[in-house]
């Protein structure tokens, strides 16, 4: 949400939209969008933006080499995948080292670690792999760079697929799409400012519960009941959901102003009746990416859904952050998905039991259990260390040490 309070950004947006539609259709508009996106990103992070440009150029060259290779893999296929991964890991680990070194200036880390590096890297890997499989329509370097740096979806996604992005731009001004984009922006800003920041963060968590994040409860543990721990965890989950989904609303609405139809990233995850359904509704584009490039290859290699799910969820955890708490969060959801798969297999042998769990009668119970499971995971997400996470888990079951 770095752009929300940047007045220069919003002034440039207001000026850029009419100019974009005045320009001739096709290449001039794409060039303009790319220059505008790069200029704004470079105004915030010039060094990081330059590094991303070099990385993107290398991957494009490697992908072009792979797509031309006939009957055998290009020598650049593996470097084209590993170099972005190494860059991502470096960007995840570097701030942790920098913050722990007291003698180093704090302003350096944000300048060198790019915004949206997790999304950027996964889009690069997607592009590299699909190019090697010759899955893309004809396009050029300009199309690729615009896909990678398109500002509305650059910081917080969604993780758009190249062929979807490349083929979903409106060639002429579409009033219905533009109006839908404006409406989506209004919804996004309302969710962010009113629901997430004022109602959930300031009023519910701050004023009523007296915390900013779950591990703030540790300072009050002697007077904190189990019910309060759960209330904080559920409230924090709702805040994170509303905060993140509002960013996606803004990204989708913002993209529509330029004639781009962007993929949805949430499909009402709050109504999920099990953890499997939750992950089909939550962060949809990330789930699709991991399913295609981690889960199915691991399933084919190991012939084990347990191992494939483990690899997939650990990947999602570490993609969020290279810390023990995010790793534990990924493992936690992996265990939940594995337990759900095993449970499904078992009750599938008993048709009456299976039909009951699919019925409306079972919905309140299954919904409450899913909400409890997902909220309990915020013991990890809402903590600064594993020690705090474990203590919160104990508190959630009335076992304060």
- The rounded percent of the chain whose pLDDT value lies above 90 is 62
Question: What does the pLDDT read at residue 230?
Answer: 95
Q: What confidence score (pLDDT) does residue 73 get?
A: 59
**222 pLDDT above the threshold of 70:** no
Instruction: Answer whether residue 211 shows pLDDT above 60.
Output: yes
Mean pLDDT (the chain) is 88
| Mean pLDDT of all residues in 365-379 | 95
Check if the beta carbon of residue 173 is closer than 8 Å to that of residue 21: yes
pLDDT confidence of residue 254: 92
User: What does the pLDDT read at residue 132?
Assistant: 87
The predicted-structure confidence for 99-155, as pLDDT tens digits, reads as follows 555 555 555 555 567 888 999 999 999 999 999 888 888 899 999 999 999 999 998
Q: Is residue 87 a contact partner of residue 114, using CB atoms and an 8 Å limit?
A: no
- pLDDT at residue 157, as a whole number: 87
d(CA 241, CA 235): 10
Q: What is the band of 221 on the pLDDT scale with cuts at 50, 70, 90?
A: low
pLDDT recorded at residue 235: 95
Q: For the residues 174-198, what does the mean pLDDT come to?
A: 94
Task: Give 50-64 as a 3 state SS string.
Answer: HHHHHHHHHHHHHHH
Segment 323-333, tens digit of pLDDT = 999 999 999 99
**69 pLDDT tier (thresholds 50, 70, 90):** low
- Output the pLDDT for position 98: 60
Between CA 145 and CA 127 the distance in angstroms is: 11
Tens digit of each residue's pLDDT (9 = 90 or more) over 15-36: 889 999 999 988 999 999 999 9
Contact 164, 263 (CB under 8 A): yes
Q: Identify the pLDDT of residue 121.
A: 96
Q: Average pLDDT, stretch 55-70? A: 87
pLDDT level of residue 290 (50, 70, 90 thresholds):
very high
User: Of residues 109 and 359, which shows the higher confidence score?
Assistant: 359
pLDDT at 11: 80
pLDDT of residue 293: 96
- Answer whether residue 275 shows pLDDT above 70: yes
pLDDT at 70: 60
- Residue 153's pLDDT is 93
Calculate what percentage of the chain has a pLDDT beyond 70: 91
For residue 386, what pLDDT is reported? 93
DSSP 3-state assignment of 70? coil
Distance of CA 35 to the CA centre of its chain: 25
Distance (Å, whole) CA 225 – CA 228: 5
Nearest to 263 by CA among 176, 370, 150: 150
| Rounded mean pLDDT, 1-17 | 72
Residue 250 confidence (pLDDT) above 90: yes
pLDDT tens profile 155-181: 888 999 999 998 777 778 889 999 999
- Region 78-100 average pLDDT: 83
Task: Please list, in sequence order, all residues whose beta carbon lies within 8 angstroms of the beta carbon of residue 372, skipping any fewer than 6 positions away.
Answer: 230
Q: In sequence order, which ranges of 45-156 are alpha helices (DSSP H)?
A: 46-68, 77-100, 108-112, 117-132, 141-149
**Where is pLDDT greater, at 251 or 225?**
251
């Amino acid at each position: 949400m770095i752009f929300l309070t940047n007045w220069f950004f919003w002034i440039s947006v207001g000026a850029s939209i009419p100019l974009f539609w005045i320009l001739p259709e096709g290449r001039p508009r794409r060039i303009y969008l790319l220059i505008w996106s790069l200029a704004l990103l470079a105004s915030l992070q010039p060094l990081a933006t330059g590094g991303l440009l070099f990385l993107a150029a290398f991957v494009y060259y490697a992908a072009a080499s792979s797509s031309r290779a006939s009957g055998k893999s290009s020598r650049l296929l593996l470097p084209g995948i590993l170099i972005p991964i190494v860059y991502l890991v470096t960007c995840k680990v570097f701030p942790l080292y920098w913050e722990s070194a007291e003698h180093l200036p704090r302003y350096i880390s944000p300048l060198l670690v790019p915004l949206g590096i997790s999304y950027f890297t996964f889009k690069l890997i997607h592009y590299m792999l699909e190019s090697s499989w010759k899955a893309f329509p004809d396009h050029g370097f300009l199309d690729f760079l615009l896909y990678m740096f398109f500002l509305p979806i650059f910081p917080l996604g969604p993780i758009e697929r190249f062929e979807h992005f490349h083929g979903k731009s409106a060639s002429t001004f579409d009033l219905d799409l533009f109006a839908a984009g404006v409406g989506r922006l209004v919804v996004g800003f309302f969710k962010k400012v009113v629901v997430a920041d004022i109602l959930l963060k300031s009023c519910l968590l701050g004023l009523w519960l007296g915390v900013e994040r779950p591990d703030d409860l540790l300072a009050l543990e002697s007077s904190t009941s189990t019910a309060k721990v759960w209330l904080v965890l559920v409230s924090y989950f709702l805040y994170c959901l509303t905060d993140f989904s509002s960013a996606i609303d803004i990204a989708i609405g913002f993209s529509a102003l330029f004639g781009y139809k962007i993929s949805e990233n949430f499909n009402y995850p709050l109504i999920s009746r099990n953890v499997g359904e939750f992950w089909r509704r939550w962060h949809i584009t990330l789930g699709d990416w991991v399913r295609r490039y981690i889960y199915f290859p691991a399933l084919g290699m190991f012939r084990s859904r347990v191992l494939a799910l483990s690899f997939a969820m650990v990947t999602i955890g570490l993609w969020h952050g290279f810390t023990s708490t995010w790793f534990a969060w990924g493992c936690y959801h992996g265990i939940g998905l594995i337990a759900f798969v095993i449970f499904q297999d078992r009750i599938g042998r008993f048709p009456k039991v299976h039909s009951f769990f699919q019925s409306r009668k079972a919905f309140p119970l299954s919904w409450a259990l899913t909400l409890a499971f997902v909220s309990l995971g915020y013991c990890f997400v809402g903590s600064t260390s594993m020690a705090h996470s474990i203590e919160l888990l104990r508190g959630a079951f009335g076992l304060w040490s």
